[in-house]
């Protein structure tokens, strides 16, 4: 569906749809799977065939109209089977779909099965104070089909207003559903953006779907790739399928910790990048490219790389001012350290010093030194030794006052 063209309308709809989500969890979640336990058949003389009857969660018998997505309250159907014939219902459905299309510009996909339940107007229990609804029984995970509930008088309204509205809700929901919502280990719903490596927190996506469009995200990814190649001479190839999660920090800092804005984290052999939207869209920090370098180094070397060199390479894409004054001499105490200093000041020195050393290393030896370094470590040479022997030692001697340690 052409989401972009109908952005404003969809945003307006998404606000309305939020109410529906609430509603559906409070009322619509009664288990309709039980329906089919109560299913039975009876013969209808008019149609001259067996008709399947189910009971909904309120124990109201509904007739399934063969060959359609319609269920009609049995007492209505028995009163006038002709009115509720498949052709008649589908004719009205088609009209409402056309109206919804004219309003939204998206096509209601016939392959998408949204069942439509038609109830008698005085079925107070069914509707309570609600007139008609598009229900989803569980926002993201359900084997149940979404369904529309509609009152008889509204269904047969000649303008099809209510049915059109419900179809528009359904279309909106199905647009989102197509984007594939997952829930991460922190129970945060994320939408997988099709044909990308990106997962975007649902609330961010809902707020601005265009910002998180496939084209926009892939553009950012390609810019990051170019930046990486430009700065350290390594190609971020397509085999490095590290997923990228764009998420807000939550109140408890559960996702990022107190000081982190972006991470590349690895569990077993599977890595993922998590990044805050503010950092994702920041050109000062280039956090995406920074984390992608970590992912890339992990792809080639696993854990066999010194942390200082790892961060030194990753910070090549950061603005030099990010970590401190470039004219400062690197601090020997944190150079090529294999752990993050816990003190904030020391941590900044750690990033800055290693960034500084690696920058000068690449300047002196040329960008081709980085792939050379990778190959050397892949052959089993310790990463610090490889770095020092490939010109790192010279750079440290030149830039540090006290280099005896090396
Ligand atoms: Zn880093």
CA-based diameter of the chain, in Å? 100
Residue 240 in 3-state DSSP?
A: coil
Residue 278 host element (H or E): helix 277-280
What pLDDT is attached to residue 36?
42
CA of 303 to the centre of ligand 1 (A): 14
Nearest to 160 by CA among 116, 80, 216, 100: 100
Cα–Cα distances in Å, from 58 out to 34, 41, 101, 124, 137?
11, 19, 33, 11, 15
Tell me the C-alpha distance between 98 and 317, whole Å.
51
Q: Where are the domains of the chain?
A: 4-178, 180-301, 304-406
* Segment 83-95, tens digit of pLDDT: 999 999 999 998 8
Residue pLDDT, tens place only, 364-399? 999 999 999 999 999 999 999 999 999 999 998 888
The proportion of the chain whose per-residue pLDDT surpasses 90, expressed as a percent, equals 31
Structural element, H or E, at residue 230? helix 214-232
Q: Retrieve residue 10's tokens.
A: 């969809």
The Å distance, Cα 291 to ligand 1 centre, comes to: 6
Q: How far apart are alpha carbons 254 and 45 in whole angstroms?
A: 63
pLDDT at 123: 65
Q: What distance in angstroms lies between residue 290's CA and the mean position of ligand 1's atoms? A: 6
pTM of the model: 0.57
How many Å apart are CA 168 and CA 221, to the nearest integer? 33
What is the CB-side half-sphere exposure of residue 347 using CA atoms within 13 A? Answer: 8
With beta carbons less than 8 A apart as the criterion, state whether 145 and 54 touch: no
CB-CB neighbours of 368 under 10 Å: 10
Residue-level pLDDT at 323: 52
Give the whole-angstrom CA distance, residue 107 versus residue 170: 11
Flag whether pLDDT at 12 surpasses 80. Answer: no
Q: Which residue has the tokens 């998206």?
A: 106
Q: How far is the CA of 287 from the centre of ligand 1 (A)?
A: 8
* Rounded distance from Cα 315 to ligand 1 centre (Å): 7
CA 225/CA 390 separation, integer angstroms: 25
Rg of the chain over all Cα atoms, to the nearest angstrom: 30
Cα(292) to centroid(ligand 1), Å: 9
For 354, list phi and psi in degrees, rounded to 5.
Answer: -70, -35
**Selected residue with higher pLDDT from 48 and 357:** 357
Rounded Cα–Cα distance for residues 278 and 246 (Å): 10
Residue 25 predicted with pLDDT over 70: no
Looking at residue 184, what is its pLDDT? Answer: 67
User: Alpha carbon 118 to chain centroid distance?
Assistant: 35
What's residue 402's pLDDT?
A: 47
Alpha helices in 52-201, H assignment, sequence order: 74-79, 86-104, 124-127, 152-155, 161-178
Ligand 1 geometric centre to CA of 59 (Å): 58
Burial status of residue 3 (CB atoms within 10 A of its CB: 0-12, 13-18, 19 or more): middle
Report the alpha-carbon distance of residue 149 to residue 145 in Å, rounded: 13
- What tens digit of pLDDT does each residue of 148-201 get? 888 888 899 888 888 888 887 777 666 655 557 776 666 678 888 888 999 999
Distance from residue 10's CA to the centre of ligand 1 (Å): 38
Question: Across all residues in the chain, what is the average pLDDT?
Answer: 76
Residue pair 160/95 in contact (Cβ under 8 Å)? The answer is yes
The pLDDT of residue 140 is above 50: no
Owner of token pair 């084209």: 215
- Ligand 1 centroid–CA 268 distance in Å is 19
For the residues 241-255, what does the mean pLDDT come to? Answer: 72
pLDDT tens across 276-297, in order?
Answer: 888 898 877 789 999 999 999 9
Task: Give the percent of the chain with pLDDT over 70.
Answer: 69
Per-residue pLDDT at 135:
62
């Amino acid at each position: 569906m052409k989401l972009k063209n109908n952005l404003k309308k969809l945003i307006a709809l998404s606000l309305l749809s939020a109410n529906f989500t609430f509603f559906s969890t409070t009322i619509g979640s009664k288990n309709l799977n039980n329906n089919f336990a109560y299913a039975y058949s009876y013969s209808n003389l008019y149609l001259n065939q067996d008709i399947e009857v189910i009971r909904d969660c309120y124990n109201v018998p509904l007739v399934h109209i063969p060959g359609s997505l319609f269920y009609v309250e049995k007492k209505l159907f028995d009163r006038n089977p002709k009115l509720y014939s498949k052709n008649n219902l589908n004719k009205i459905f088609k009209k409402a779909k056309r109206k919804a299309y004219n309003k939204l510009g998206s096509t209601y996909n016939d392959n998408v099965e949204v069942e439509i339940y038609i109830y008698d107007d005085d079925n107070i229990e069914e509707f309570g104070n609600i007139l008609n609804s598009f229900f989803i029984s569980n926002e993201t995970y359900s084997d149940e089909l979404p369904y529309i509930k509609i009152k008889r008088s509204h269904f047969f309204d000649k303008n099809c207003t209510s049915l059109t509205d419900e179809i528009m809700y359904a279309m909106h929901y199905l647009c989102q559903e197509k984007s594939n919502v997952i829930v991460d280990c922190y129970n945060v719903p994320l939408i997988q953006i099709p044909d990308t490596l990106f997962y975007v927190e649902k609330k961010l996506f809902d707020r601005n779907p265009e910002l998180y469009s496939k084209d926009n995200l892939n553009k950012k990814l390609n810019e990051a790739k170019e930046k990486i190649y430009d700065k350290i001479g390594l190609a971020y190839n397509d085999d490095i399928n590290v997923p990228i999660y764009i998420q807000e920090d939550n109140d408890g800092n559960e996702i990022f910790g107190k000081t982190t804005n972006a991470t590349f984290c690895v569990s077993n052999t599977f890595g993922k990048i998590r990044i805050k939207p503010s950092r994702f869209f920041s050109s000062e920090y280039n956090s995406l490219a920074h984390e992608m370098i970590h992912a890339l180094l992990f792809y080639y070397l696993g854990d066999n790389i010194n942390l200082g060199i790892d961060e030194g390479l990753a910070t090549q894409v950061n603005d030099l001012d990010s970590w401190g004054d470039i004219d400062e001499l690197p601090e020997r105490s944190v150079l090529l350290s294999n752990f993050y200093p816990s003190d904030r000041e020391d941590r900044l020195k750690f990033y800055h010093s290693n960034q500084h050393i690696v920058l000068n290393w690449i300047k002196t030896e040329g960008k081709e030194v980085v792939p050379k370094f990778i190959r050397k470590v892949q052959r089993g040479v310790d990463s610090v030794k490889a770095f020092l022997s490939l010109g790192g030692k010279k750079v440290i001697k030149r830039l540090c006052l006290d280099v005896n340690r090396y």
